């Protein structure tokens, strides 16, 4: 089944404890992206990757890191999480950004709480 | 920059038709998407417009007018399962990002 998977789905952690949220897609998509979703603010892009070893900042990159060593994986790293990073996180992928109608497929989401 | 506006909430009854509007201000974009998102779940694709006009897909249709900076999603024969948030999103000119509106929460009652 074509899908985007994320792990963990739920995480409660403490301020300053490094964590990684994994994202994997099995559709051979070039493009991957991370979003966070907060009440009243909607979905905002954190980082994106156009291809292996190519990553760039989105609208809200502060406090996050990413890597794209393999085409299928795009982990999100929080080196020192803070309470303002409590949010619902979505990973997404698409075949070829810029191609007309290239839709993004979203993972199931990771609900992160930082205390 | 880009600014996208949608109504925050709408209500409707089963079997009715509802139109969810999306207005935007942008220097340019490569297409407009509508996504559906049930509470706590992932957004799922509904429709895409790149040219002006109407795109129809079963009970759902989407319209775009670039000159007016306006799109709408039309949902016909509403069902209870259509209760969800509906997200309008523009593709930026570089094709590197979807810029989302804050979404419209639709509640369908019997």
Q: Could you read off the pLDDT of B47-99 as tens digits, one per residue?
A: 999 999 999 989 999 999 999 999 999 999 999 999 999 999 999 888 888 99
* Beta carbons of A42 and B101 less than 8 Å apart: yes
Tell me if A40 and B102 make a contact (CB, 8 A cut-off): yes
Which residues lie across from A92 on neighbouring strands? Answer: A33, A106
Does the structure show a pLDDT above 70 at A12?
Answer: yes
Q: Which of A50, A56, A90 sits opposite B42 (nearest CB)?
A: A90
Distance CA B41, CA B106 (A): 15
| pLDDT tens readout for residues A73-109 | 999 999 999 999 999 999 999 998 777 788 999 999 9
pLDDT tens per residue, range A26-60:
999 999 999 999 998 999 999 999 999 999 999 99
Q: Which residues does chain B have within 8 Å of residue A88's beta carbon, measured at their own beta carbons?
A: 40
* pLDDT given for residue A102 in this prediction: 87
DSSP label at residue A73:
B
Q: What's the pLDDT at B1? A: 64
Smallest Cβ–Cβ distance between B100 and the set A42, A56, A99 belongs to A42
Q: Are strands B9-13 and B104-109 parallel, antiparallel or unpaired?
A: parallel
A61 exposure class (CB count in 10 Å sphere: 0-12, 13-18, 19+): middle
Q: Is pLDDT of A10 > 70?
A: yes
Does the distance separating the beta carbons of A42 and B43 come in below 8 Å?
no
Cβ distance B95 to B1 under 8 Å? no
Task: Say yes or no for a CB contact (<8 Å) between B87 and A103.
Answer: no
More confident call, B23 vs A40: B23
Chain A residues with CB under 8 Å of B50 CB are 100-101
pLDDT of residue B61: 97
Distance separating alpha carbons of residues B82 and B41, to the nearest angstrom = 14
| Residue scoring higher pLDDT (A9 or B27) | A9
**Closest C-alpha to A78, from A30, A22, A1, A2:** A22
Is residue A90 a contact partner of residue A107, using CB atoms and an 8 Å limit?
A: yes
In degrees rounded to 5, what are phi and psi of residue A50? -85, -20
């Amino acid at each position: 089944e074509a899908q985007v998977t994320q792990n963990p789905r739920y995480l409660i952690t403490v301020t300053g404890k490094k964590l990684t949220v994994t994202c994997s897609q099995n559709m051979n998509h070039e493009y991957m992206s991370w979003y966070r979703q907060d009440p009243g603010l909607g979905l905002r892009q954190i980082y994106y990757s156009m291809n292996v070893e190519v990553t760039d900042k989105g609208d809200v990159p502060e406090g996050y890191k990413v890597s794209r060593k393999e085409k299928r994986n795009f982990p999100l790293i929080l080196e020192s999480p803070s309470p303002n990073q409590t949010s619902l996180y979505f990973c997404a992928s698409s075949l070829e950004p810029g191609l007309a109608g290239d839709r993004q497929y979203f993972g199931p989401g990771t609900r992160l709480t930082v205390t | 920059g880009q600014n996208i506006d949608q109504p925050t909430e709408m209500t409707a009854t089963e079997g009715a038709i509802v139109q969810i509007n999306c207005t935007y201000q942008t220097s340019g974009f490569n297409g407009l998407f509508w996504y559906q998102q049930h509470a706590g779940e992932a957004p799922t694709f509904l429709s895409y417009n790149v040219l002006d006009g109407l795109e129809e897909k079963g009970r759902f249709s989407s319209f775009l007018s670039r000159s007016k900076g306006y799109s709408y999603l039309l949902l016909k024969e509403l069902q209870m399962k259509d209760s969800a948030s509906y997200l309008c999103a523009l593709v930026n000119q570089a094709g590197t990002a979807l810029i989302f509106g804050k979404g419209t929460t639709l509640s369908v009652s019997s």
